[in-house]
Amino acid sequence: MFNTSKLSEMKPLKPLPPKSHTAMTSENHPPFRNVIGCPVAALPFDAQIELMMEWAKDCLSKVVCIANVHMLTEAHRDPNFANVLNKADLVAPDGMPLVWMLKLMGANEQDRVAGMDVLVALCKAACSEDLGIFFLGSQTVILEKIRKRLEVDFPDLRIAGMEPLPFRPMTEAEDEAIVQTLNASGAGLVLVSLGCPKQEIWMAKHHGRVQAVMVGLGGAFPVYAGIHKRAPQLIRNSGFEWLYRLAQEPKRLWGRYSSTMPIFVWLALKQLLDSPKNVHSQELQ
């Protein structure tokens, strides 16, 4: 429906049978800590990728949010969005401030689970498992650049499909068509690029309908496509990648950073100081 002929020329996949959705409970939630009210996973990077792949191989309907300061601050402001994150199957810590918070709460070995690294790791793992990936959202030109790079980086990757979504709200018929396309593709992973919080809300609404692991990777698509440059490793490790991104997109990001970073710092300090035991463990029950 929104596809282009080039993007539709993908390797065919055999559709996988749908599996029934099981509601997430505290018993099957991965280990996590409460970071300013949101359950952020306290697992190493490799363990989180392995968990996503296990779900994907079973074609389970799951929601994975790659969280940063902006996302958690938006959740603090909006109870409805907070509910989206609280019901997600996995909230991964993107951004060093979240990693630092987890370490202060006792997850001493926690590393960063950045969107770009998740995209590459999932593609690599999907090749090994012969698992299909569907790229949903973003823009046609970005998807085309992603496809060309994937053909070089991961020639054995089974691309189940690539499809942009309209910026306007979709009709019920259009939405149902997208769901049918995703499920018929046989993809175990659906990488979603709609921007925060739109992509997280979209995934939450399709939890149980799309029989695949949905991973919100909005910012990673243009970086992998080569449209935006990623900060050098030293800058990423030091926690100043936000400053590098701000230099690339000052008009778009200045308002976001100035309105979210001070709030996050205040809430994080308040959480740590209000109760000393939070420093060691804040795992939700």
pLDDT of residue 276: 55
- Exposed/middle/buried for residue 20 (C-beta within 10 Å: 0-12, 13-18, 19+): exposed
In a domain? residue 7: no
Mean pLDDT of 142-153: 98
In the chain, the percentage of residues whose pLDDT exceeds 90 is 70
Compute the Cα dihedral for 14, 203, 84, 33 and give only its sign: positive
pLDDT of residue 27: 45
Judged against a pLDDT cut of 70, whether residue 253 lies above it is answered with no
In 36-103, where do the E strands start and end? Answer: 38-41, 62-67, 90-93
In a domain? residue 242: no
Q: In the predicted model, what is the mean pLDDT of the chain?
A: 86
Structure-block tokens of residue 246: 């701000």
Judged against a pLDDT cut of 60, whether residue 112 lies above it is answered with yes
Pick the range with the lowest mean pLDDT from 78-87, 176-185, 238-247. 238-247
pLDDT of residue 118: 98
In a domain? residue 264: no
pTM: 0.86
Q: Which range of residues forms the domain containing residue 84?
A: 35-224
Mean pLDDT of 130-157: 97
Query: 282 vs 188, which has greater pLDDT?
Result: 188
Judged against a pLDDT cut of 80, whether residue 238 lies above it is answered with no
137, 196 contact by CB (below 8 A): no
Judged against a pLDDT cut of 60, whether residue 52 lies above it is answered with yes
In a domain? residue 150: yes
In a domain? residue 65: yes
pLDDT of residue 252: 72
Q: What is the pLDDT of residues 208-227, one digit of tens each?
A: 999 999 999 988 999 999 99
Judged against a pLDDT cut of 70, whether residue 154 lies above it is answered with yes
pLDDT of residue 246: 67
CATH of the domain at 220: 3.40.50
Please enumerate in sequence order all residues whose Cβ is within 8 A of that of 152, keeping only pairs 6 or more positions apart, or say none: none
User: Residue 255 — pLDDT band, cuts 50, 70, 90?
Assistant: confident
In a domain? residue 110: yes
pLDDT of residue 281: 43
Could you give the number of structural domains in the chain?
1
Q: What is the pLDDT of residues 4-21, one digit of tens each?
A: 434 444 444 434 333 333
In a domain? residue 272: no
SS3 229: coil
User: Residue 42 — pLDDT band, cuts 50, 70, 90?
Assistant: very high
In a domain? residue 248: no
